């Protein structure tokens, strides 16, 4: 029995799949070299996805872009495959990290100051105790006691000020923690639709497939693509196209359950992971989403102009025990492309004869 290991885009076998992974990596590096693409991990991840051919429809967009302009930028290929802009993430990380470092520096300075105050108070107490030892003059004893009271009151005032400052700093650190949590969520969320982004989807696909393999509970992958979104962008503008994307995303949210994962994985393509569900039930989910969007009336807000009916095409594949994530993606995308070939505005499963027609 082949040994399983964790790797890029999921769990793969250490025999044949390991060789396939290395072959895909070699192809990705070759493509990057030929196009003089930046050799960084994010670019490699996008080109690795390209060479696995797990999303043929996205590959078509990449090829069309290269054919049209002779090359493709990092931003363009990352947009096609649904990766979040790296500069936004980096700027947010730098800003949050700088704030946390500053607040921790303040905390250290406050603690050092408090330690100094306590040490001074301890020294005053020691000195006054030594002066009391052997003193019998009442006036002198009274003076020493007055000094002790004064030192104690000064310590109490310093302690109160320290407590107030510490509470304010505690609140600031709590806010920094919330900012860090927001940053973590933002790094896994598509900014336009508020669905999971490509990076989050790949992580969840990996996790869901591992769970399905372990429990044999089943897993279906639904891919959905907006029909003719490019025509909508050309005719009515990209703002209208963005609104269509938001509406479709909202429709997906309305039909997913607690353990499902809905994501935007490309410009106009969405994915839904449906654990513990049979293939025909997944088909029902896809058809409900498709019907909901098709029944809507889309109007351009700025002009009141009707935009016509918006339709979706979808493809569904059921996870096969032991297969790689990109193989599941490839099968679901083939179903999606079959739906496109056979008239669009439909959802096709991988057991449908139209897939191989």
Among 202, 204, 243, 268, which one carries the catalytic annotation?
Answer: 268
User: Do residues 224 and 289 touch, judged by C-beta distance below 8 A?
Assistant: yes
**Cα separation of 65 and 287, whole Å?**
31
CA nearest neighbour of 272 among 216, 322, 204: 204
Q: Indicate if 268 belongs to the active site.
A: yes
CA 221 to chain centre: 19
Copy the structure tokens of residue 29: 């590096």
CA–CA dist 281, 297 (Å, integer): 27
- The tally of CA atoms less than 13 A away on the side-chain side of residue 94 is 6
Task: Name the strands in the sheet holding 269-275, side by side, starting at the edge strand that comes first in the sequence.
Answer: 261-264, 269-275, 219-226, 312-318, 347-349
Half-sphere exposure of 128 (CA within 13 A, CB side): 18
- What is the Cα–Cα distance from 251 to 50, expressed in whole angstroms? 28
The residues that are catalytic are: 268
């Amino acid at each position: 029995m082949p040994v399983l290991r964790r790797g890029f885009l999921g769990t793969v076998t250490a025999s044949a799949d390991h060789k396939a992974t290395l072959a895909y990596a070699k192809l990705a590096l070759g493509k990057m070299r030929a196009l003089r693409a930046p050799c960084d991990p994010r670019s490699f991840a996008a080109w690795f996805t390209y060479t696995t051919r797990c999303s043929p429809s996205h590959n078509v967009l990449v090829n069309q872009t290269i054919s049209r302009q002779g090359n493709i930028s990092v931003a363009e290929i990352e947009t096609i495959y649904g990766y979040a802009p790296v500069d936004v993430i980096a700027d947010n990380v730098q800003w949050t990290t700088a704030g946390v470092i500053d607040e921790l520096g303040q905390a250290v300075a406050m603690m050092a100051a408090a330690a100094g105050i306590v040490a001074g108070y301890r020294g005053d107490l020691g000195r006054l105790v030594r002066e009391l030892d052997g003193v019998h003059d009442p006036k002198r004893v009274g003076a020493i006691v007055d000094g002790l009271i004064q030192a104690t009151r000064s310590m109490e005032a310093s302690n109160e000020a320290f407590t107030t400052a510490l509470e304010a700093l505690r609140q600031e650190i709590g806010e920094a923690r919330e900012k860090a949590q927001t940053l973590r969520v933002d790094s896994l969320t598509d900014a336009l639709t508020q669905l999971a982004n490509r990076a989050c989807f790949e992580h969840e696909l990996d996790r869901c497939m591992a769970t399905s393999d372990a429990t044999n509970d089943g897993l279906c992958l639904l891919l959905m693509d907006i029909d003719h979104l490019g025509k909508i962008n050309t005719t009515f503008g990209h703002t209208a196209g963005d609104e269509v994307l938001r509406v479709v995303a909202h429709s997906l949210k309305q039909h997913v359950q607690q353990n499902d994962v809905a994501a935007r994985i490309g410009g106009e393509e969405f994915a839904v992971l449906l654990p513990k569900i049979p293939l025909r039930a997944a088909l029902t989910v896809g058809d409900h989403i498709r019907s909901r969007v098709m029944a809507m009336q889309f109007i351009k807000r700025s002009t009141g102009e009707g935009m016509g009916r918006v339709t979706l095409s979808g493809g569904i594949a059921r996870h096969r025990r032991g297969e790689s994530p990109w193989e599941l993606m490839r099968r679901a995308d083939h179903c999606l492309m079959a739906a496109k070939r056979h008239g669009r505005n439909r959802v096709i499963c991988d057991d449908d004869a139209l897939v191989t027609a």
